[in-house]
C-alpha cells in the first residue's frame, strides 16, 4: 500500500502507523455515539445528554441522526435537534479533527519521536481541527490513543485538552471508542469549566453507503 512520503524529520515508525490507519479505516460502518456535555460556572449550569447514530465512509463521518437529546433533563426542542444534526452533517472544515496519523494530513504537522511507541506532533494551522499532542501505537502500528490541545478553542475557553481511546471495533477495523474533552475558561467575570464525554458503540458494517444511510 502506497503511503505519502514522510515529512522531514518524522520518525520512521510514522510510515507503518499511517499504513495501518489507512488499511483499518476502510468500508461503510454504522455506529452509535453517546455524548454527555456539562458546563458550570457561578452563573450557569448546563447538562446535555445526546445519543446519535452515525455512518463512517472509510473512516470519515458522513451522516448522523439524533436518537435522543435532552437538555437539563428535558427533551430538546425540534430546533435544537435540527441544529445538532446540521452541525454534525455539515461541519465547518476547520472544526473537523485532522488526524496526524492520516497520511493525507502529513503536510499540516511536524513530528518527533517521543519514545515508548509514542509520536509527538504539532501544527501551525490555527483552527480547532489541528493542535499539538501525541499518539501511541501498538506493535503492529495501530494507534491506540491520542491526546492533543486544539489550536483554536470554543468560546469562553482559555485552555482545553482532548483525549481519545481507539481499538479494533470490528475485524480489521479500528475506530475511537471513547473521547474526553476538558475545558477551562471564564463566563463574564466568573471562572467556568466544561467537560464532554463521548462513547462509541454498536459498530456494524454495511454493504454500501446507501444501505448504511438507510439504517440510521
Whether 4 has a pLDDT exceeding 70, the answer reads no
Cβ-proximal residues to 161 (8 Å cutoff; 6+ apart), any chain: 147, 148, 149, 181, 182
Q: What is the pLDDT of residues 117-126, one digit of tens each?
A: 999 999 999 9
**Domain definitions of the chain by residue range:** 13-214
Q: Would you say the pTM of this structure is higher than 0.75?
A: yes
Whether 2 has a pLDDT exceeding 60, the answer reads no
Separation CA 102–CA 19 (nearest Å): 8
Mean pLDDT of the residues in the chain: 94
Separation CA 163–CA 130 (nearest Å): 14
- CATH number of the 13-214 domain: 2.50.20
**Least confident segment among 27-31, 110-114, 185-189, 208-212:** 185-189
Q: What is the pLDDT of residues 132-161, one digit of tens each?
A: 999 999 999 999 999 999 999 988 889 999
Whether 96 has a pLDDT exceeding 90, the answer reads yes
The predicted structure's pLDDT at residue 3: 59
CB-CB contact of 86 with 6 (8 Å): no
Amino acid at each position: 500500500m502506497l503511503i505519502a512520503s514522510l515529512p522531514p524529520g518524522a520518525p520512521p515508525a510514522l510510515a507503518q502507523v499511517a499504513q495501518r490507519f489507512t488499511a483499518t479505516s476502510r468500508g461503510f460502518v454504522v455506529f452509535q455515539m453517546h455524548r454527555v456535555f456539562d458546563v458550570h460556572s457561578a452563573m450557569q449550569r448546563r447538562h446535555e445528554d445526546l445519543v446519535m447514530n452515525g455512518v463512517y465512509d472509510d473512516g470519515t463521518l458522513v451522516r448522523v441522526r439524533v436518537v435522543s437529546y435532552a437538555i437539563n433533563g428535558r427533551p430538546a426542542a425540534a430546533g435544537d435537534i435540527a441544529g445538532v444534526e446540521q452541525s454534525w452533517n455539515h461541519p465547518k472544515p476547520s472544526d473537523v479533527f485532522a488526524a496526524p496519523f492520516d497520511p493525507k494530513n502529513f503536510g499540516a504537522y511536524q513530528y518527533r519521536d517521543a519514545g515508548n511507541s509514542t509520536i509527538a506532533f504539532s501544527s501551525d494551522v490555527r483552527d480547532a481541527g489541528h493542535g499539538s499532542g501525541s499518539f501511541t501505537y501498538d506493535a503492529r502500528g495501530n494507534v491506540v490513543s491520542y491526546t492533543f490541545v486544539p489550536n483554536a478553542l470554543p468560546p469562553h475557553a482559555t485552555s482545553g485538552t482532548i483525549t481519545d481511546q481507539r481499538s479494533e471495533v470490528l475485524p480489521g477495523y479500528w475506530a475511537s471508542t471513547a473521547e474526553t474533552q476538558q475545558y477551562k475558561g471564564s463566563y463574564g467575570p466568573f471562572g467556568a469549566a466544561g467537560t464532554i464525554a463521548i462513547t462509541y458503540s454498536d459498530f456494524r458494517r454495511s454493504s454500501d453507503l446507501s444501505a448504511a444511510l438507510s439504517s440510521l
